[in-house]
Structure 1
Amino acid sequence: MLDAAADLLLGGRCAGCERPGRVLCRDCAAALPDSARPAWPTPVPAGLVEPWAAAAYDGLVRSLVLGLKERRLLGLRRPLADLLATAASAAVGSAVPAGSVALVPVPSRTATVRERGHDPTYAVTAGAAARLRAAGVDAVAVRMLRTRPGVVDQAGLDAVARSANLTGSMACTDASLRRLARRRPRVSVVVCDDVLTTGSTAREAQRALEAVGLHVAAVAAVAATRRRFPAPRQGPSPGRAEAPYR
């Protein structure tokens, strides 16, 4: 509410349609998806758990992701958290046994967080966890992963280069593991990110968490790139779940 009021008073515009006023107008907010689907990368990184996404990474959703990350439009944290919560809820219902759920964001490089002045992936993940709790799921957002020095920006890298850049790049911190064990001794993990592209980042996060004995049940993302998130098939049978996309 405060972010929206500030944007209105300062002459802001909708990140989706450029309409003067709120950072996200009511029409654009109403156009956001309210369901999620499996979004398998092609090719699938070996061993990747099932990934879920709420939207394709284009159009309105792409504008929202970039608006928060690159333009620091903090009012977009709420709608993006809603989308991630939708994906995480689908992942939880599909793959997580009864019990606690830890939403673990993929780590951002320290230099990137410092340059942006905030950590959008964690903020959106924390918001998603709050929405799951409101829906009755025992969920918590936990920063558990750190990156080693030398990891470069993934933008512009193909699948092979991304995999090489990320292999062995993440580790689970001992302190975060102890905190999680105290708060929720039996927990399933959902790896969270804003955009799923090749799956290399999610797979490396999964590897690092599994290396310390955690059960990684699924991946949840706000969006997946279009070729990994094709349009739904026409006319699915009522009440019948569609098969995962590959």
Structure 2
Amino acid sequence: MLNAVLDLVLPPACAGCGAKGACCCPRCFDALTASPARRVPVPRPRGLPDCWSAAPYEGAVRRMIVAYKERGAVALAGVLAEAVTRTVLTAMGEAGGWGGGRFAVVPVPSARRSVRGRGHDPVGRLAVLVAARLRALGLDAEPWAGLGQCRRVADQAGLSRSLRAVNLAGSLQVVPAAKGPPAAGALLLDDIVTTGATLAEAARALHAAGIAVPLAATVGATRRRS
């Protein structure tokens, strides 16, 4: 809440580099959108869909994601959504499109305590904006917040690759009370991919409900490490 109030009082500055004039300057926007690519964690976790990101999670891109996700800089939502939309279009172009059918844009859910602490649902907001942009471009996309946590998980920070997989295994499900998905296929959406364990668990939960997941997209991707 305090960050939102300060945004109204103080002159805007770029969240990526601090330059005055906008929440994202042209140079940082270029850093965010210039290199959409397939960025698959190595080793690749079992069940991970084809995984694309807008940019490496470093420098200005990292600072913008952190400002949006952890510091309430919701004015960055449109910028990040634009980066993800361009990434999805690039991925679909390489794969030959989505086949012309309707598909769901599914955000990886945050824990309720995290949403309360942040005061907003960053990935859920991005899913709505990305779906709207894809529809404006003629694709039959609909946001669908049908995934939810079915048990508590530990904070992922500091966990090894193997411990992250154990921590997340079986933690997500299609929410029983959710209406059916708007399509048989799903585009998974998250802010960052590190080991891929979260996206793989989300894909597993969707597959268990009979929903295909050919693609996952994120804003940032940490550098590959073996």
Question: What is the TM-score when the length of structure 2 is the normalising length?
Answer: 0.90
Deviation string 1:132-161 (CA, Å, 9 cap, x unpaired) is: 111111111110111123211211111101
2:87 alignment partner AA: A
Task: Give unmatched runs, 5+ long, in structure 2.
Answer: 1-5
Amino acid at match of 1:48: L
Alignment partners' CA distance in 2, 1:190 and 1:167: 20
What's the offset of the Cα at 1:98?
Answer: 2.2
Q: CA deviation at 1:26?
A: 3.2
CA distance in 2: counterparts of 1:112 and 1:32, whole angstroms = 25
Structure number with larger C-alpha Rg: 1
Q: Which residue of 2 aligns with 1:231?
A: none
Deviation at 1:130, TM superposition (A): 1.1
Aligned positions of 1:1-246 closer than 5 A: 7=7, 9-93=9-93, 94=95, 96-178=98-180, 180=181, 184=182, 186-227=183-224
8 Å CA contact 1:7–1:22 kept in 2: the answer is no
Q: State the one-letter code of the partner of 1:190.
A: L
Q: CA deviation at 1:227?
A: 2.0
Contact map agreement 1:54 1:221 (CA 8 A) in 2: yes
What is the Cα deviation at residue 22 of structure 1? 2.1
Question: Tell me, what secondary structure is at the counterpart of 1:53?
Answer: strand
The percent identity for this pair of structures is 41
CA contact (8 A) 1:52 1:90 kept: no
> CA, structure 1 residues 165+84, in 2 after alignment: closer, same or farther (shift >3 Å)?
same
The secondary structure found in structure 2 opposite 1:226 is: coil
Which digits, 9 at most, give the CA deviation of each residue in 1:92-147, with x for residues without a partner? 34263220111101010000000000000111121111111111111111101111
SS of residue paired to 2:178 = helix
Deviation for aligned residue 1:87: 2.2
Judged with a 3 Å threshold, the aligned counterparts in structure 2 of structure 1 residues 132 and 34 are, in CA distance, closer, same or farther, namely: farther
Q: CA deviation at 1:71?
A: 1.1
State the distance in 2 between where 1:142 and 1:193 align: 13
SS state of the match for residue 132, structure 2? helix
Q: Is the 8 A contact 1:91 1:219 kept in 2?
A: no
* Contact 1:142/1:176 (8 A) holds in 2: no
Q: Is the 8 A contact 1:104 1:144 kept in 2?
A: yes
SS in 2 for 1:174: coil
